[in-house]
Amino acid sequence: MNYSSSLEFAQQMDQKDPLKEYRKQFYIPQINGKDALYFTGNSLGLQPKSVKNAIDVELRDWANLGVEGHFYGTNPWFSYHEILTKNMAAVVGAKENEVVLMGSLSTNLHLLLVSFYQPKGKRVKIICEAKAFPSDQYILESHVSYHGLDPKEVIVEIAPRAGEELIREEDVLTKIEELNEELAVVMIGGVNYYTGQLFDMEKITKAAHQVGAKAGFDLAHAAGNINLKLHDWKVDFAAWCTYKYLNSGPGGVAGIYIREDHAKDKSLQRFAGWWGHNKEERFKMEKVFDPIPTAEGWQLSNAPVLLMASLKASLAIFAEAGMERIGVKRDLLTAYLEYLLDDISLRNEHVSFELITPKDKKYRGAQLSIAARGQGKVLFDEISKKGVVADWREPNVIRVAPTPLYNSFEDCFWLAKTLEESLEN
């Protein structure tokens, strides 16, 4: 694709965009009386206009039916989570029996590690990425200590090489081989939240399996962004939140994936709750946990219906637009923004926007992390005043995510324009 830095070009691209109508299905925040240039769909996705009605239905049933809503509501609350499974599984490339919506991301990672990190004998080590999202670091450390082991010895972090920003895939694969039978589990972020680097999850999973270890991924920045094929890649387990690319709203309900054969394995250790118990027998309230032989067997509690209602509305949009088309637009839009940023660097000798995100679309999603050397926070504050909603990370990175469902090519054009004008000041 030959890009051009003119406004006309951006407008033509929007005209030709098969997903252009979807923007109208979202509320765009207003700044200075205009649509914000909203580039933080990787942090909190925008609100679909259909969310309000989806929640209203449940509020009405609650008002009119009280407890009877569990069985006689428009969408009976007893099985509310089941309504979401099909669309959610499609987004992450899983079978329906491998996915359930429940709890929150950090809680779910803990629950999954109970099942998939069971250190025994020599096999105690965990591979993760250096500078993982803080919650993920605390989660891993606390599991290791819980098992009476020393996090410093057991957790093996893969860092970028000296002078580099990205982790080399070969370094992950080599470390897996090297640890061999000492390795219990690899758990890394499918897309790194800071650099936007996407890992080849299929390759990493295969390498882990070759040494008898498990592979799991935190998909907070991948779900709804990347074209995932968790089942085909034979990933053991995964977890994600839904308020980033999946637009479910602040603190939305989260998702887990457990590969079918693990999900069917009733002997797999877990921390159990009544909602994971055999549905036919659940209300007999008897002793002895009999897990549902699907990902649902990891549920603890009954469905948080109001949170699920907003996700239901959002997933309906994903089902209609389809991850295939979303992925095509993601790559076009991201490459276009990259082109515009490179173009600014070319024309302005005194600045450089160094993009630390991989250039190859096989190794990134919708996010570009811009290291604004020598400009940094001042530049960020300036563009924020002018209507850009981006994200600042110390020491010098501005993260922007052109989100295919509601960002336009023209948004990218104005973002670049705003950045360039702010430089001149």
For residues 23-35, one letter each, b for 16 or more C-beta atoms within 10 angstroms of the residue's C-beta and e for the rest, the string is bebbebeebeeeb
- Does position 220 interact with ligand PLP (CB under 6 A)? The reply is yes
- Contacts with ligand PLP by CB under 6 A: the residue count is 12
- Does position 136 interact with ligand PLP (CB under 6 A)? The reply is yes
| Residue 305 φ then ψ, to 5° | -60, -40
**Binders in 87-106 for ligand PLP, by CB under 6 A:** 104-106
Question: Does a cis peptide bond (omega within 30 degrees of 0) precede residue 402?
Answer: no
Query: Can you read off the two tokens belonging to residue 187?
Result: 């758990």
- Does position 218 interact with ligand PLP (CB under 6 A)? The reply is yes
CB 123, CB 182: distance < 8 Å: yes
Complex with ligand PLP: residue 135 or 384, whichever CB lies closer: 135
Burial grade of 284 (CB within 10 A; 0-12, 13-18, 19 or more):
exposed
- Does position 135 interact with ligand PLP (CB under 6 A)? The reply is yes
Dihedral sign computed on CA atoms, order 100, 102, 106, 111? negative
409 alpha carbon, distance to own chain's centre: 23
CB 415, CB 36: distance < 8 Å: no
Smallest distance, Å, CB 81 to ligand PLP? 17
Q: How far apart are CA 366 and CA 416, in angstroms?
A: 16
- Does position 221 interact with ligand PLP (CB under 6 A)? The reply is yes
Q: How far apart are CA 166 and CA 174, in angstroms?
A: 16
Of residues 284, 283, 281, 302, the one with CA closest to residue 292: 281
Site string for ligand PLP, 252-291 (x = CB under 6 A): ----------------------------------------
Complex with ligand PLP: residue 118 or 135, whichever CB lies closer: 135
Only segment of 133-141, 150-158, 316-324, 339-347 that touches ligand PLP (CB under 6 A):
133-141
Only segment of 48-56, 213-221, 294-302, 406-414 that touches ligand PLP (CB under 6 A):
213-221
- Does position 54 interact with ligand PLP (CB under 6 A)? The reply is no
Of residues 342, 375, 343, 379, the one with CA closest to residue 359: 342
- Does position 129 interact with ligand PLP (CB under 6 A)? The reply is no
Only segment of 53-61, 71-79, 131-139, 397-405 that touches ligand PLP (CB under 6 A):
131-139
> Which residue(s) pair with 158 in the sheet?
129
Smallest distance, Å, CB 132 to ligand PLP? 7
- Does position 241 interact with ligand PLP (CB under 6 A)? The reply is yes
Only segment of 164-172, 217-225, 300-308, 414-422 that touches ligand PLP (CB under 6 A):
217-225
Contact residue for ligand PLP among 22, 193, 336, 413 (CB under 6 A): 193
Q: Show the DSSP H helices in 180-225 as ranges.
A: 201-210
Binding region for ligand PLP (CB under 6 A): 104-106, 133, 135-136, 189, 193, 218, 220-221, 241
